[in-house]
């Protein structure tokens, strides 16, 4: 528990530093290119009051470092491939249904295990679990890929988990035979996970990253609840610092702004999480405007696979396109790939990738 708190405090402080330096830099850059000298002078004293380091440091050097870091991150996020995202969404949506109680769910799980296994270089793990419901037992699978620093043990490093559910449903939650393509909900989120793994498996990271594809979300977060219990029962929760959830990240009509919702924790089970969650949300919002054309809006946490993580005390964030309030095809057979905006899925994947890379860089520089 000590380590857990320490890690979270560490991440919190790191992000506050980055937000501050970045805002300061923006101020400096904005004022230094301004022809009005008075604005430049006005900015400096307020900066010095907050952090003397910012005033003492060689500003052009910080500026150069900042540009170099952005260049490195830009190079990596440019690898996000919209064709691959589209192909994965198409394949997942082509299963007649991904209803958790359907006959097809096992095929979907094996297809995902294969796909994730290839990208994750065989470091894929299937978490089997059973669920009793309506006098029936369901044998289900969460599919997991872990990327870690090979030089250090998993237990030593801060861990970020990124998850998305792969099951779908039709209007009638009990109808296991109805067509339920679930392109936005949530083939879009699964495709982003696959693409993040494809790229990050070739990047040297200090952070441990775990990517989890959950079953049974639509039936009441069965997969995430079972997985969190598994982590807890096996003492694997010590270094978990943050859980990021994708649930519906593909619906954005092209005539609308590139709005993305960042859900942060407000008043759920552990109130002491709220500040950390909001700090991360603000950090991702800052990343969104620095690296993409997305306009991030903060909103209170809804109901998805982050809830079981929050209930154990972890900092959680949800990323989505507006979900039920915006997509008219929600939980309908009309939730098909042709209704999605792949450019938008690409931007959200890039935003999340840049977030992970910047958090990793932070953890490296501050642990030196
Ligand atoms: Zn969903």
Contact yes or no for 208/147 (Cβ under 8 A) = yes
Question: pLDDT > 90: what percent of the chain?
Answer: 64
Which band of pLDDT confidence, cut at 50, 70 and 90, is reported for residue 123?
A: confident
What's the gap in Å between 244 CA and the centre of ligand 1?
14
The confidence band for 50, taking pLDDT boundaries of 50, 70 and 90, is: very low
Q: Are residues 162 and 132 in the same domain?
A: yes
Residues 179 and 248 in one domain: yes
Q: pLDDT grade, residue 55 (50/70/90)?
A: very low
pLDDT averaged over the chain?
84
Q: Look at residue 1 and tell me whether its pLDDT is greater than 50.
A: no
* pLDDT score for 45: 35
Ligand 1 centre and the CA of 47: distance in Å?
A: 43
Higher pLDDT, 130 or 272: 130
Cα 156 to averaged position of ligand 1 atoms, centre (Å): 33
Confidence at residue 256, expressed as pLDDT on a 0 to 100 scale:
78
Instruction: State the pLDDT at residue 52.
Output: 29
Q: Is the pLDDT of residue 231 over 70?
A: yes
Gap between the Cα atoms of 119 and 358, Å rounded:
22
Q: Ligand 1: distance of its center to the CA of 320 in Å? A: 10
In the predicted structure, residue 33 carries a pLDDT above the cut 50: no
Residue with tokens 């982050």: 306
> Does one domain contain both 103 and 234?
yes
Q: Which domain holds residue 184?
A: 79-367
Q: What pLDDT does residue 239 have?
A: 78
Residue 150 near residue 110 (C-beta atoms within 8 A): no
218 CA to centre of ligand 1 in angstroms? 7
Q: Residue 118's Cα: distance from chain center in Å? A: 21
Please check the confidence at residue 304 and state whether its pLDDT lies above 80.
yes
Query: Could you say which of 20, 39, 74 is where a domain stops?
Result: 74
pLDDT above 80 (res 237)? no
Q: Do 12 and 135 share a structural domain? A: no
Average pLDDT over residues 275-282: 89
132 and 212, same domain (yes or no): yes
170 shares a domain with 38: no
Average pLDDT for residues 11-33, to the nearest whole number?
Answer: 50
Residue 229: count of CB within 10 angstroms of its CB: 13
Domain boundary among 48, 74, 100: 74
Question: Within this chain, do residues 172 and 45 fall inside the same structural domain, yes or no?
Answer: no
- Residues 140, 236 within the same domain: yes
Same domain, 33 and 133: no
Domain match, 90 and 66 both = no
> In terms of domains, do 164 and 112 share one?
yes
Looking at the fold, whether 49 and 104 belong to one and the same domain comes out as: no
The answer, yes or no, to whether residue 188 has pLDDT greater than 70, is yes
Taking CA 147 as the corner, what is the angle to CA 93 and CA 128, rounded to the nearest 5 degrees?
55
Cβ(162)–Cβ(196) below 8 Å: yes
Q: What is the pLDDT of residue 269?
A: 83
pTM of the model: 0.84
- Of 24, 53, 74, the residue that ends a domain is 74
Q: H or E segment at 61?
A: helix 59-77
Report helix, strand or coil for 343: helix
pLDDT-based confidence at residue 297 (cuts at 50, 70, 90): very high
Torsions phi, psi for 160 (to 5 deg): -115, 130
- 76 vs 5, residue with greater confidence: 76
**Structural domains of the chain, count:** 2
CA 55 to ligand 1 center in whole angstroms: 47
Cα of 299 vs centre of ligand 1, distance in Å, is 17
| Residue 273 contacts residue 310 (beta carbons within 8 Å) | yes
Taking the centre of ligand 1 as the mean of its atom positions, its distance from the CA of residue 301, in whole angstroms, is: 14
The mean pLDDT of 252-263, rounded to a whole number, is: 89
Percent of the chain with pLDDT over 70: 79
Indicate which CATH number applies to the domain containing 183.
Answer: 3.40.630.10
The pLDDT assigned to 32 comes to 29
Distance 268 CA to ligand 1 centre (A): 20
pLDDT surpasses 60 at 348: yes
Spell out the residues 6+ positions from residue 312 whose beta carbon is closer than 8 angstroms to its own.
228, 232, 237
């Amino acid at each position: 528990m000590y380590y857990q708190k320490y890690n979270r405090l560490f991440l919190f402080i790191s992000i506050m530093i980055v937000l501050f330096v970045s805002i300061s830099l923006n101020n400096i850059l904005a004022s230094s290119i301004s022809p009005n000298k008075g604005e430049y002078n006005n900015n400096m004293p307020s900066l010095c009051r907050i952090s003397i380091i910012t005033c003492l440091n060689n500003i052009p050097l910080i500026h150069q470092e900042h540009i170099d870091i952005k260049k490195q991150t830009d190079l990596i996020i440019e690898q996000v491939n919209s064709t691959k995202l589209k192909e994965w969404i198409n394949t997942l949506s082509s299963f007649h249904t991904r209803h958790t109680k359907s006959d097809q769910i096992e095929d979907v799980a094996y297809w995902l295990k294969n796909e994730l296994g290839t990208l994750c270089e065989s470091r894929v793990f299937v978490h089997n679990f059973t669920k009793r419901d309506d006098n029936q037992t369901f044998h289900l699978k969460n599919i997991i890929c872990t990327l870690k620093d090979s030089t250090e043990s998993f237990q030593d490093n801060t861990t970020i988990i990124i998850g998305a559910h792969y099951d779908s449903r039709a209007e009638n939650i009990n109808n296991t035979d109805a067509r339920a393509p679930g392109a936005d909900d949530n083939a879009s989120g699964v495709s982003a996970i696959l693409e993040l793994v494809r790229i990050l498996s070739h990047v040297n990271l200090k952070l441990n990253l775990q990517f989890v594809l959950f079953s049974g979300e639509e039936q009441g977060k069965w997969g995430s609840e079972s997985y969190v219990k598994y982590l807890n029962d096996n003492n694997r929760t010590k270094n978990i610092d943050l859980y990021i959830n994708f649930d519906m990240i593909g619906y954005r009509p092209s005539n609308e702004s590139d709005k993305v919702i960042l859900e942060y924790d407000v008043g759920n089970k552990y109130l002491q999480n709220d500040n950390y969650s909001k700090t991360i949300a603000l950090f991702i919002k800052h990343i969104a405007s620095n690296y993409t054309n997305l306009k991030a809006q903060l909103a209170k946490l809804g109901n998805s696979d982050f809830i079981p993580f929050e209930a154990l005390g972890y900092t959680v964030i949800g990323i989505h396109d507006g979900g039920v309030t915006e997509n008219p095809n929600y939980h309908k057979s009309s939730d098909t790939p042709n209704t999605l905006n792949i450019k938008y899925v690409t931007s959200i994947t890039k935003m999340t990738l840049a977030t992970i890379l910047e958090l990793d860089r932070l953890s490296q520089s501050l642990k030196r």
